[in-house]
């Protein structure tokens, strides 16, 4: 399901903006779009998404250490979340972080062409409704 198909009233505006920018490959801008909401709420989920987007900024710069470090931090922030949160497949996101970290470590010369950002498409039918970020 695309971001456009998710009813705006169901997901927080900053998250929708993050997903829109992230989906357009604007990783730095997506990071910035969620920053204020994260600072206000202290949401580890938001911080995990910010760190994940930041990893792809490092990918654009061909910074292997930065990619691996940010993905490790992403995993730390998302570890306590259920497999689906705010309609996003967190289990898939965590698995992708692990796979990319392994690829970057195991292929020091060709890794940038062998990895890509995971599309993040929330499924509104998978919202639990009790996610604290929905209260913002």
Confidence (pLDDT) at 4: 43
- For residues 34 and 46, the answer to whether their CB atoms sit within 8 Å is yes
* CATH of the structural domain 12-120, one choice from 1.10.3450.10, 3.50.50.60, 3.40.50.300, 3.10.20.310: 1.10.3450.10
Could you tell me the residue ranges of all domains in the chain?
Answer: 12-120
d(CA 11, CA 124): 8
Q: Which helix (H) or strand (E) holds 85?
A: strand 84-85
Residue 119 token pair: 């599309």
- For residues 76 and 84, the answer to whether their CB atoms sit within 8 Å is no
Mean pLDDT by 10 residues, the chain (136 residues): 48 94 97 95 97 98 97 98 95 98 94 96 85 85
Confidence (pLDDT) at 59: 98
Confidence (pLDDT) at 136: 67
- Residues 6+ away with beta carbon under 8 Å from 94: 75, 78, 79
């Amino acid at each position: 399901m695309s971001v456009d198909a998710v009813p705006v009233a169901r997901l927080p505006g900053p998250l929708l903006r993050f997903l829109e920018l992230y989906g357009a490959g604007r990783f730095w801008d997506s990071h910035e779009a969620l920053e204020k909401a994260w600072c206000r709420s202290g949401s580890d989920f938001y911080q995990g998404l910010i760190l994940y987007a930041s990893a792809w900024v490092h990918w654009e710069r061909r910074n292997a250490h930065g990619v691996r470090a940010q993905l490790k931090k992403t995993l730390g922030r998302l570890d306590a979340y259920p497999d689906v949160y705010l309609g996003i497949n967190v289990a898939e996101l965590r698995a992708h972080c692990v796979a990319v970290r392994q690829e970057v470590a195991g292929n020091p010369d060709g890794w940038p062409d062998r990895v890509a950002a995971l599309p993040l498409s929330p499924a509104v039918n998978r919202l639990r409704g009790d996610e604290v970020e929905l209260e913002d």
